[in-house]
Every structure is written in structure tokens, then in C-alpha cells.
Structure 1
């Protein structure tokens, strides 16, 4: 029996409204025009039913503190560094501006493993997002918890190398440079207070990142928009992504997509070809 078995099956229910102001802020963040028909692009669910912990309940890293109380949704795994490792998303129906949103989240599994950098804790969370009472998105999100790093640990990721990204292997390609303004706005949209995305001294000196870290869901959102430009809005049936390596603010990021027999493959890459996010989709 695991120390965390009591958390498996624990649920959290949140409610929200996709109001016009949020829709405009989301579109403005990505330089998109608000939809004339009110149907939002895929990925908007990432900005709905966001964390609601009071300021006094935040930990040093900015995430809500975890404890062994009955009200703590996440288990208090004694590993301080948290990352969004992966998501598997099923798109069931579009979400329209003005819709009443309900999200039911459930702890599906908890596992502890030993990795090359030490102990790791994995938590799978199942989210069911409904719009006006009908299921719109199902998502299984994997979070990973890691041990702290020493103040003299090597910076992550390593500095950019001499390689280049080969665009000829992909059907569609675009370049973005996520800067601190974009990271700040996405943190605000998702009410994400994780300090690695906006607090450079913390990101560098405590978690030993080479700079501000680009959110995994932000890169996923950019890939969803690339797919929409190539395939049409709200055409994806499923989308899965996982973090491979950190992307750093103010550095060029390549977004790429190619078709395969079973769907499409997508990814984000640093300028030297290092992959940051790996993704697949069906439509």
C-alpha cells in the first residue's frame, strides 16, 4: 500500500464562465482575432477553472502548498519541484463564448520512481470539462515532482549548441520567440504563480534553469494554433504532448508539424535542434 493511496479518487469540482473579456484577452495574447461566431479555438480550456488557492496558501515556488489534510487535493509528496510533464486530450465539442463551464478533476494514479537525477513522483489527474452541461474536453494530465537541486548544479538546459533545426523534414513550420511579456500574460490567463515563469533570480538560483522557463501548456497552445492554421479550426479529435526539455524565454522556438498515416506529429525545437515538446494529434 502506498503512502498516497488515500488520495487516489479524490475529486475537485470547479465552475467558471467563458466570458467575452477572457476570450478577448486569450486572443490578444496570441495575436488572434476574436471569433465572429463565438466558438473559441481549441486550447481555451487550459485557461478555465484555474487555481483558486488564497495567497496565504502558496508555497515558496508559487504553487499551492500540499499537506495531508482532507482538503488538500494533491498529495504532499516530499519533493519540492513540480512540472507539467504531459497531457492526453480528447476534444469532444467546441467551447463557445458565454458558456458556463464545469470541470471535475480526479486523482487517477500516484507513483514514485527513481530517475537519473534522483527520486521522482508522478501524479495523473483526469479532468472532465463540460460546457453548458455537455462534455467538451477530457484530459489526463501528468505532473512530476522532483527533488531540490544544489546551488552549484549545472544550469538546465545546457547552452545552445552549434546544431540547427532542419525544416525540410516537416510539412509546416513557423518561428516564435516567447519573451517574458508572453510568459507573464499566459501565467495571468491560467492564474499560474509558478515562479520559474516570471521570477528570474528564483528560476536561476533555486531551480537552476538557464533563464525563465516557457510553460509546457503555452507551447502546446502554440502547436494547437499551428494545427488550426493548417487543418482548420476545431478539427482535432485528440492531442497529446509531453515535455522533453525546457524552453527558455527570449530564445527562438521552432514550431513544426507533419502528417503521418495515423494523424499528425508536432513539436517545438530550440534553434540548435534540441526538442522541447513532442506532440501527436488526430483529426
Structure 2
């Protein structure tokens, strides 16, 4: 059955939730990433960095409600297609005002779009979920997240065997940092974001079931690192659009590169000089 038929009458309504934006999750992520100011070692910080709202408004389904891959079997914005496999493809976010730590916020989530596209590998359902966050009676942040869904696949997606041309080098990029994500970092980020997908912490599963060469670095973690690189220069960001292109694996060196522009910063994650794994454009005030 075509994916269009599965989602022809799928129209989930909006969902509203509240979160106190407690300092604990932000301090925990600061510890994971080595951000001293937010960890409590430096001057007090009262607002969340760009994309750190992903630590909040989390959903923790019961253990028996998870599928064999660790993802929930059911969910308000999960499309009703069989043998569902999900990929976080990217998104856009606009900041009206930064979210304040320690002050309750309200989020309203809606289905913005659901469209089936046909490619060489078959049908893919692209779903966009929109979030609007208010705090103190004022709009603070508007976000759209894009997810790609496939149906009926066995999960044996073998990665290309060709070796990469070597680790990324600095080249002429004025902003450049080289790092790697180890399994401990991935486990901690999974816990902080309520992400139970086994490809991030269960290496035997990632290899034998999903066909990856190792643990997969979270797409949202790459996006957080891109946003942090743009804000490191001291100018707060007001908007970001990003796209996740290909996976990065645990232990694999990757560079976060880019350079300042007038108002926009173009950034990328690379695992080799010619291997672009993620891209982002950040607008700064």
C-alpha cells in the first residue's frame, strides 16, 4: 500500500504542554559538553543557549510502549505507517527572546506538513512538526522539525565500504574545532534528551540490525555543536536552519567548521575534507 493511503486521513490535533525550565538539565548538558559557565563554575547564566530547549518538554513513555529499536511504538505525531523507520532530517528555529532558566514555559505543537516523496530508493514520508514556545505571556521561540519516515524495510542498510580520504583539515576556515564523540558522551546525551533509540548506545544492535559500522552520533547533538560554534563569538543567535545529511559514528573525528559573515554564519560538520555530514546557517543579532 502506498504511504499516501496510510496518511490520507491522518490529522493529529495540537498538543500543549508546560515545563518549568529547571536549571538541572542545562547544567547537566553543560557538564557533558564542558561549558563551564552553564555548569555553575562561572558567572550565572539566566537564558538557554540556542537549541538547548531540546532538554525540556520531554516525553517518557512506559518501557512496554517502546519498539525493538527503542523508539515509541505509538505517538501523537508518529505517522500510522507499518514498520516505521525514522530519521531526523533537519529543521528551522527562530528566537524572539531567549528562554529564561527557572521560569515555566508553555509549548504548543502542531503538524505543519506531511508529504510523500518518491526517489530511487522508494517512497519517503516527510513530516514537519511545528512548536511555538511562550514564556511570561510572550512568544519566545518558533521551531519546525523535519522527520523522514520509511516503511517496510528490514533495517539492513549497509554503509558504503569506500574509505574516506582522511580526517578533515582546517583549510582556510577561521572557525574550526576537531572532536569525536565517544560512547559515554552518546549515552549521556541520550539520557538528557529522552532518546532511547538503540543506535546511539547499543553497538551490537547498531551493527547487526541497522547495518551501521558502529554507534551513531545523534543528529541533534551535531546541531547543538553547530549552534554553539556560532554563538561562541559572543553574539546571540536569532535564527538557525540546519540539515543533517549523513551519519557520524562514535570515535570518528569530525570538524565543526565555518566562518563569520555580516549577519549570517555558514557552518558544517565534516568527517573528511569532501564529506559534509551536516550544514547550518545561523543568523546572529
Q: TM-score, normalised by structure 1?
A: 0.89
Residue 140 (structure 1) aligns with: 144
Q: Deviations over 1:121-144 (max 9, x none)?
A: 111100112233322211110001
* 1:164 shift after superposition: 4.7
Contact 1:223 1:267 in 2 (8 A): yes
Please say if residues 177 and 255 of structure 2, whose CA atoms lie closer than 8 Å, have aligned partners that are also in contact.
yes
d(CA) in 2 for partners of 1:186 and 1:243? 18
Aligned counterpart, 2:197: 194
Q: Which residue of 1 aligns with 2:245?
A: 244
Secondary structure of the residue aligned to 2:191 is helix
Q: 1:91 aligns with which of 95, 103, 125?
A: 95
C-alpha displacement of 1:160:
3.8
- Answer yes or no: is the 8 Å Cα contact 1:157–1:245 preserved in 2: no
Is the contact between residue 79 and residue 145 of structure 1 (CA under 8 Å) also seen in structure 2?
A: no
Q: Is the 8 A contact 2:65 2:72 kept in 1?
A: yes
Which of 192, 208, 211 in structure 1 is aligned with 2:211? 208
Name 2:221's counterpart in structure 1. 218
Q: Which residue of 2 aligns with 1:282?
A: 283
**Number of residue pairs matched?**
276
1:219 and 1:268 in contact (8 A); partners too = yes
Q: Gaps (5+ residues) in structure 1?
A: none
Structure 2 residue aligned with 1:268: 269
**Structure 1 Cα separation of the partners of residues 156 and 82 of structure 2:** 22
| Mapping for residues 22-171 of structure 1, pairs under 5 Å | 22-33=25-36, 34=38, 36-66=44-74, 72-147=76-151, 149-150=153-154, 153-154=157-158, 156=159, 158=161, 160-171=163-174
Change (3 A) 1:160 1:101: farther
Residues 87 and 148 of structure 2 are in contact (CA less than 8 Å); yes or no, is this contact kept in structure 1?
A: yes
